[in-house]
Chains A and B, each alone.
Chain A
């Protein structure tokens, strides 16, 4: 099975940088995803890591350490519209179709 942990809530200031951590304990691993979900809306894809290291995409970056079972999502130059839930998800190594999601981190960006 999979166990994914991420903080429940975080608060940050507009223009700042915030790091959202995710730790996982899994029986298999075939990639880690980050999704953004605004209240009442569907999750939208942010990033995918399968190898160790940092993936940068505009204001968002994601890091993975497979040996530590650890990932983080880094958001730079925060904007008010970044207030949302951020979901960490691990794809099962044995079944490439199945992803297990964490409960999400609700980020509130304040002016």
Chain B
């Protein structure tokens, strides 16, 4: 595709439900990043993949958060037993080389936990 795509664009979950957020990076991009952005704040790093390897998951806020990229392309961010504080926009970004310079962001998934 022409850019990074994410689905769903909007998700409403009841507290305690599990959710799965999908990211399709730009074809051929090696590095993939997940960020969490609360209203009025900058994106906060969650995790980083280089191909299928998860090189850094230091930003995942709890063990309820899990990310995978099994074939080195599409990635899924899973949140188990959602809590109200998980409500945020989840952004995915990719770069063409390790680390890379410019990060290309997807449109994000807005998660609302009620």
B interface residues (Cβ-Cβ under 8 A, vs A): 4, 31, 33, 35, 40-45, 48, 50, 55-56, 58-59, 91, 98-99, 101-108
Q: A41-B107, A42-B108 are in contact. Are A96 and B98 (CB under 8 A)?
A: yes
Question: A interface, how many residues as a size bin?
Answer: 20 to 34
- The answer to whether A45 and B103 touch across the interface, beta carbons within 8 angstroms, is yes
Q: What is the distance, in angstroms, from B102's C-beta to the closest C-beta of chain A?
A: 4
Q: Which residue of A lies closest to B31 (CB)?
A: A97
CA distance A31 to B95 in the complex (A): 15
- The answer to whether A104 and B103 touch across the interface, beta carbons within 8 angstroms, is no
Residues of B within 8 A of A44 (CB): 105
- The answer to whether A101 and B108 touch across the interface, beta carbons within 8 angstroms, is no
Does A60 belong to the interface (CB within 8 Å)? no
Q: What is the distance, in angstroms, from B3's C-beta to the closest C-beta of chain A?
A: 9
Q: A87-B42, A87-B43, A104-B42 are in contact. Are A97 and B107 (CB under 8 A)?
A: no
Residues of B within 8 A of A99 (CB): 33, 45, 103
- The answer to whether A42 and B106 touch across the interface, beta carbons within 8 angstroms, is yes
Q: What is the distance, in angstroms, from B34's C-beta to the closest C-beta of chain A?
A: 11
Q: Which residue of B lies closest to A8 (CB)?
A: B40
For the complex of A and B, list the 3 residue pairs with the smallest distance between their C-beta atoms, beginning with the closest.
A96-B99, A101-B42, A42-B105
Q: A41-B107, A42-B108, A103-B40 are in contact. Are A98 and B102 (CB under 8 A)?
A: no
